């Protein structure tokens, strides 16, 4: 793609997706944003937004582009209270806890199979591998 | 009349490109040259792209998407005909003289960046693992018989072990795939796995790799394809060529 003579085949190649999994489609927003916002040449222009606010904006977009785990790793969790971004995970966790204690409650009145609930408590030590 | 500025899309080698067509908001693309380098710019209204406008608009995902796609579109058109060093979104100077000054100031670094990506393109390789099976298992019938609670918990435990094993296997596969791709690439970068809320893909992304590959070199594509064929249970998505966004950066000389 350096020589003018190479330009025609390169131009054609740009329209060729190579994937067995998906039909050709325009690049998804996450692919584009992670590149145009996070990569490429960074030169300060004449127009600059307040740095503090840029940082906030970047964090907000990072949350959309990058993983939530990463943000938590960085100690950022204000998004939990952002109605646009917050998930129901907290709510689900609470509900799970409630259900589990309810099951245990029921189990305690059912002596025939108490061994099962005892070992299940060790589940909390398993590695959290789910994304 | 509203104030205007120069929006910079990318830097290319002077003479290899004569930007055609339009950029943001239909404004014609203009080449601004300085000592062998060309910045491709277009005029933008500073009501929209000034400091106040940007601060307001950048929080609006729909606006951001429109501008990001327009930016990417121009960069792609330039990449199709020559080496290109894309600039980060919303790099704006007040006039062409200011653009020329930036080219002069960063001449050596820009030249080096163009050298690194010349004749090369970026390919994206992603590996997903689908959770459909797990979700299906989780939707089990609720029984009210005595002992159903314990059986339920036991099942959940087995499921969780199975899931953990499957996760480990998938993570290993992601490492293997990355190694294969790296072996056939000039440079590589692992990007953050993307959030499903933005991709709309329900699978979990385990690898989001960017690889710089010589244009016309098929060995990269063949190696990734061979891996994919050998692992029919995995979902590998290869996209490209991209302009070399992930590899065009200014590094200290």
| Per-residue pLDDT, A3 | 38
Taking a contact as any Cβ pair under 8 Å apart, which residues of chain A between 67 and 126 contact chain B?
A: 67-68, 70, 103-104, 106-107, 110, 112-117, 119-120, 123, 126
- The answer, yes or no, to whether residue A126 has pLDDT greater than 70, is no
- The answer, yes or no, to whether residue A90 has pLDDT greater than 60, is no
Q: How confident is the model at residue A6 (pLDDT cuts 50, 70, 90)?
A: very low
List CB contacts (< 8 A) between B160 and chain A: 123, 126
CA distance A91 to chain B (A): 18
The Cα-based distances of A98 to A92, A94, A103, A127, B150 in angstroms read 10, 6, 9, 21, 16
pLDDT, tens digit (0-9, with 9 covering 90-100), for A36-71: 887 888 888 998 765 445 555 555 565 555 544 544
List CB contacts (< 8 A) between A19 and chain B: 236-239
User: Are A14 and B49 inside 8 Å of each other by CB?
Assistant: no
CA distance B182 to chain A (A): 17
A interface mutation test: which of B194, B209, B222, B250 has the most A CBs within 10 A? B194
| Per-residue pLDDT, B131 | 64
B interface mutation test: which of A24, A43, A82, A116 has the most B CBs within 10 A? A43
The full length of chain A comes to: 131
What dihedral do alpha carbons A91, A97, A101, A102 form, nearest 10°?
30
Segments making up each domain of chain B, as ranges: 4-118, 121-133+167-242
CA distance A63 to chain B (A): 8
Higher confidence at residue A99 or residue A74? A99
| Per-residue pLDDT, B214 | 96
Q: List the alpha helices (DSSP H) in chain B.
A: 46-49, 51-57, 61-79, 96-105, 107-117, 132-138, 148-183, 196-199, 219-230
- The answer, yes or no, to whether residue A95 has pLDDT greater than 60, is yes
* Lookup result for tokens 């005909």: B81
List CB contacts (< 8 A) between A103 and chain B: 149, 152-153
Q: Are B44 and B7 in contact (CB under 8 A)?
A: yes
User: Are B88 and A40 inside 8 Å of each other by CB?
Assistant: yes
- Quote the pTM value: 0.69
DSSP for B133-153? HHHHHHSPPP--STTHHHHHH
CA proximity to B64, closest of A39, A55, A60: A60
Q: Is A32 on the interface with B (CB under 8 A)?
A: yes
| Per-residue pLDDT, B132 | 53
- The answer, yes or no, to whether residue A85 has pLDDT greater than 80, is no
| Per-residue pLDDT, B17 | 65
| Per-residue pLDDT, B60 | 76
Nearest chain B alpha carbon to A112: B147
User: Are A41 and B242 inside 8 Å of each other by CB?
Assistant: no
- The answer, yes or no, to whether residue A7 has pLDDT greater than 70, is no
CATH 3.90.480.20 fits B121-133+167-242, yes or no: no
Q: Are A28 and B248 in contact (CB under 8 A)?
A: no
| Per-residue pLDDT, B1 | 57
Q: How confident is the model at residue A110 (pLDDT cuts 50, 70, 90)?
A: low
User: Are A2 and B119 inside 8 Å of each other by CB?
Assistant: yes
List CB contacts (< 8 A) between B157 and chain A: 119-120, 123
List CB contacts (< 8 A) between A83 and chain B: none
Q: What gap in Å lies between CA B127 and CA B77, rounded to an integer?
A: 28
List CB contacts (< 8 A) between B239 and chain A: 17-19, 27, 31
Percent of chain A with pLDDT over 90: 0
| Per-residue pLDDT, B66 | 92
- CB contacts < 8 A (A, B): 242
Q: What gap in Å lies between CA A39 and CA B217, rounded to an integer?
A: 24
Q: What gap in Å lies between CA B142 and CA B148, rounded to an integer?
A: 8
Nearest chain B alpha carbon to A44: B91
Q: How confident is the model at residue A82 (pLDDT cuts 50, 70, 90)?
A: very low
| Per-residue pLDDT, B97 | 97
Digitized pLDDT (tens) for each residue of chain B, 253 residues in all: 579 999 999 999 988 767 788 999 999 999 999 999 999 999 999 999 998 888 788 777 788 889 999 999 999 999 988 999 999 888 999 999 999 999 999 999 999 999 999 999 999 999 998 765 544 444 554 555 667 788 888 888 888 888 888 878 888 999 999 999 999 999 999 988 876 766 677 788 899 999 999 998 899 999 999 999 998 888 999 999 999 999 988 875 4
User: What is the layout of strands, in order, in the sheet containing B84-93?
Assistant: B30-34, B37-45, B4-13, B84-93
| Per-residue pLDDT, B166 | 80
| Per-residue pLDDT, B32 | 96
List CB contacts (< 8 A) between A128 and chain B: none
User: Are A41 and B120 inside 8 Å of each other by CB?
Assistant: no
């Amino acid at each position: 793609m350096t020589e003018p003579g190479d330009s025609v085949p390169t131009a054609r190649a740009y329209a060729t997706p190579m994937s067995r999994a998906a039909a050709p489609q325009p690049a998804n927003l996450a692919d584009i944003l992670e590149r145009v916002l996070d990569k490429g040449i960074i030169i300060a222009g004449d127009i600059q937004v307040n740095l503090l606010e840029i940082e906030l904006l970047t964090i907000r977009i990072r949350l959309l582009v990058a993983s939530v785990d990463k943000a938590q790793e960085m100690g950022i969790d204000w998004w939990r209270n952002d109605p646009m971004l917050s998930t129901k995970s907290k709510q689900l966790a609470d509900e799970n806890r409630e259900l589990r204690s309810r099951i245990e409650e029921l189990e305690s009145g059912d002596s025939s199979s108490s061994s099962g609930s005892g070992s299940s408590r060790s589940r909390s030590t398993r590695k959290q591998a789910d994304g | 009349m509203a104030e205007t500025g120069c929006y910079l899309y990318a830097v290319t080698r002077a003479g290899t490109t004569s930007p055609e067509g339009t950029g943001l908001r239909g404004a014609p693309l203009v080449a601004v040259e300085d000592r062998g380098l060309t910045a491709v710019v277009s005029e933008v209204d500073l009501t929209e792209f000034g400091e106040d406008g940007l601060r307001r608009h950048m929080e609006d995902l729909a606006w951001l998407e429109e501008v990001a796609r327009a930016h990417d579109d121009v960069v792609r058109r330039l990449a199709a005909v020559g080496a290109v060093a894309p600039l980060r979104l919303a790099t704006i100077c007040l006039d062409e003289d200011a653009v020329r000054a930036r080219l002069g100031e960063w001449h050596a670094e820009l030249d080096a960046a163009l050298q690194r990506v010349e004749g090369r393109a970026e390919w994206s390789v992603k590996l997903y693992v689908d959770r459909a099976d797990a979700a299906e298992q989780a939707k089990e019938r609720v029984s009210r018989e005595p002992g159903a609670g314990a059986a339920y918990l036991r099942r959940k435990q087995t499921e969780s072990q199975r899931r953990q094993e499957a996760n480990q296997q998938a993570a290993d596969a992601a490492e293997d795939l990355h190694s294969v791709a790296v072996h056939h690439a000039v440079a590589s970068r692992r990007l953050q796995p993307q959030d499903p809320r933005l991709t709309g893909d329900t699978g979990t992304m385990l690898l989001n790799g960017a690889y710089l590959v010589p244009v016309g070199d098929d060995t990269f594509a063949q190696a990734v394809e061979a891996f994919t064929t050998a692992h029919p249970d995995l979902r590998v998505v290869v996209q490209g060529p991209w302009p070399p966004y992930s590899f065009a950066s200014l590094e200290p000389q």
